[in-house]
Amino acid sequence: MESRIALDLGFIKIYWYGIVITLGMMLACYVAMIEAKRRGENPDIVSDGAIWVIGLGLVGARLYHVFSVPKDGSGSGWAYYRDNPLQILAIWQGGIGIYGGILGGGIGIIYVMWRNKAPLWRWFDNIVPGVLLAQAIGRWGNYFNQELYGGPTGSPTWGLIIQEPFRVRTGKFDFTDMQTYPPDTRFHPTFLYESVWNFCGFLLLMWLARRYQQDPNRPETANRPLVDGDIGPLFLIWYGIGRGWVELFFRPDAWTLGALPTAVWVSIFGIIAGILIMIFNRVKVSKLKIKN
């Protein structure tokens, strides 16, 4: 049985990619409900609105991949889907772009909060730690699909052994050349680097929210350094640093715009946006204090 398939029932195949993505989404919803309840918000908003956030997130993630221009020699991305439009729906075979997912999911969150008349930035704080956890888990789908790995590690013990059908050709590197890169060549497990980074970020944001963030419903937290609405932008900063680092140093087949991988440009934008949002938060809080 193909390594990407977890269970083959004949009439239907269940892919590991789908399993880990589903598990990640379920845990993200669970964490959001925990955080909402802790901060005095209605956790039912999560269960009622999850279909919008997850649905738009998946659409955005898939479209990011579909319109990408990967340099792995596979002819995938828009060059492939333009001629095979029905394959756009075959998400179980892999191929989602997390930045598209963040954008689509963000639109879903804005809609759900507007519909429920709930505080948007406060809810971003509730949701984003679970998003990092979901990303940490979801990255293992790349492991099962043998995709999005880096270049050779040069080590006989560290790294992934990639089967020949999943080798890529990129620029001056042709990993399909089994003479230059024999079957026991080990490649950088970029999925693991990002998974560990995201899991550490999940733990960090959960700790910061409890230890250092102000909560308008708890006066005793008024002197803490992080204001209400800071966890969301910290997510943008943390993820942007980690994703940019992985793409810049470990992905020879990355989709590029100009001199840098596209994901690095988006990471830079996300980091800047996160910093600006935190500045905006402080200006807003200062004005409220002056009025009071």
Residue 254 lies in a domain: yes
First and final CA of the chain: distance in angstroms? 67
Residue 143 lies in a domain: yes
> Which DSSP symbol is given to 201?
H
d(CA 151, CA 252): 6
The one-letter amino acid at 184: D
Beta bridge partners of 139: none
Phi then psi dihedrals of residue 261, to 5 deg: -60, 145
The pLDDT tens digits for 77-107 are 777 888 888 888 877 666 778 889 999 999 9
pLDDT of residue 251: 83
Domain count, the chain: 1
The sign one gets for the Cα dihedral 233, 236, 238, 241 is negative
Residue 16 lies in a domain: yes
Give residue 276's domain range.
5-45+119-291
Residue 179 lies in a domain: yes
72, pLDDT greater than 60? no
Q: Which long-range contacts (CB under 8 A, 24 or more apart) does 151-154 make?
A: 151/187, 151/188, 151/250, 151/252, 152/181, 152/185, 152/186, 152/187, 152/188, 153/186, 153/187, 153/188
Residue 137 lies in a domain: yes
d(CA 218, CA 94): 44
Residue 251 lies in a domain: yes
The pLDDT tens digits for 131-173 are 999 999 999 999 998 988 999 999 999 999 999 988 988 777 8
- Residue indicated by tokens 């919008």: 52
Please state whether the predicted TM-score (pTM) of the whole model is above 0.85: yes
Residue 136 lies in a domain: yes
Residue 65 lies in a domain: no
Q: Per the structure block, which two tokens stand in for 192?
A: 């693991």
Strand 186-187 to 160-161 pairing: antiparallel
Q: Per the structure block, which two tokens stand in for 72?
A: 């792995």
The pLDDT tens digits for 235-286 are 999 999 999 999 888 888 777 888 888 899 999 999 999 999 999 988 877 7
- Residue indicated by tokens 């269960």: 47
